[in-house]
Structure 1
Amino acid sequence: MITHVVLLKLRPGVAVDSTAAREAHAAMSALPTKVPQIRTWQCGFNTTPDVCGWDYVLVSGFDSREALEAYFVHPEHLKVVALWEPISDLAFGDLES
């Protein structure tokens, strides 16, 4: 199992309740219905207010490295990336278990 963790920090001037952030979240939330390689999926805006915290968190699971790689290039995933790119900065990491 591969656990894929993504942290997103909204860019200055982009609010959590902005149309762009809400649309990106809705698209992110819908990915498990569109990408068959996804096994587990939790995403949403950070609920801990702290200046050091990131604004959005995704924790997802994939059966294998190959499944994760297929997700990375899946057209539906790329559409979601295109929504987040102009409004946020990204950090991610993967764990194998």
Structure 2
Amino acid sequence: MIRHLVLFKLNEGVTREEARVTAGVRAFEELGGQIPEVEFWECAWNISDRPIAYDFAINVAVADPAALQRYLDHPAHQAGAAQWREFATWVIADYEF
């Protein structure tokens, strides 16, 4: 199994309440059910207010590297990432477990 973790940081001046942000969150909340390769899916706002904290997280599990690539290439994933690209930056970690 492969875990795909993504941590998002909203760009300076962007708030959670903005329409484009709520649309991006909605797109990611629905993503897990749209991509067959996804075996586990969760996403949520970070509850920590520490200065080093990121704002939003996605936690995904897929079977293997090929499934991860299909997930990343899936049109629904590409569309969601394009929305977030407009108002956030992110870091990822992919690891086997």
Please classify the TM superposition score into its range, dividing by the shorter chain length.
over 0.9
Which residue is equivalent to 1:65? 65
- RMSD value over aligned CA atoms? 0.7
Q: Percent identity?
A: 27
Which residue does 1:79 correspond to in 2? 79
The residue that corresponds to 1:2 in the other structure is 2
Where 2:66 maps in the other structure, the secondary structure is: helix
- Displacement of 1:37 in angstroms is 0.5
1:1-97 matched pairs, under 5 angstroms: 1-97=1-97
Which ranges of structure 1 fall in alignment gaps of 5 or more residues?
A: none
Q: Which amino acid aligns with 2:94?
A: D
* Counterpart Cα distance in 2 of 1:68 and 1:21: 25
CA deviations 1:3-47 (Å, max 9, x no partner) are 000000000111012111111010001011211110101101111
Structure 2: where are the runs of 5+ without partners? none
TM-score normalised by the chain length of structure 1: 0.96
Equivalent pairs counted in the alignment come to 97
What CA distance in whole angstroms lies between the structure 2 residues aligned with 1:51 and 1:21?
A: 21
TM-score scaled by length of structure 2: 0.96
Query: What residue identity is the alignment partner of 2:4?
Result: H
Counterpart CA distance in 1 for 2:76 and 2:67 is 14
Q: Which amino acid aligns with 1:52?
A: I
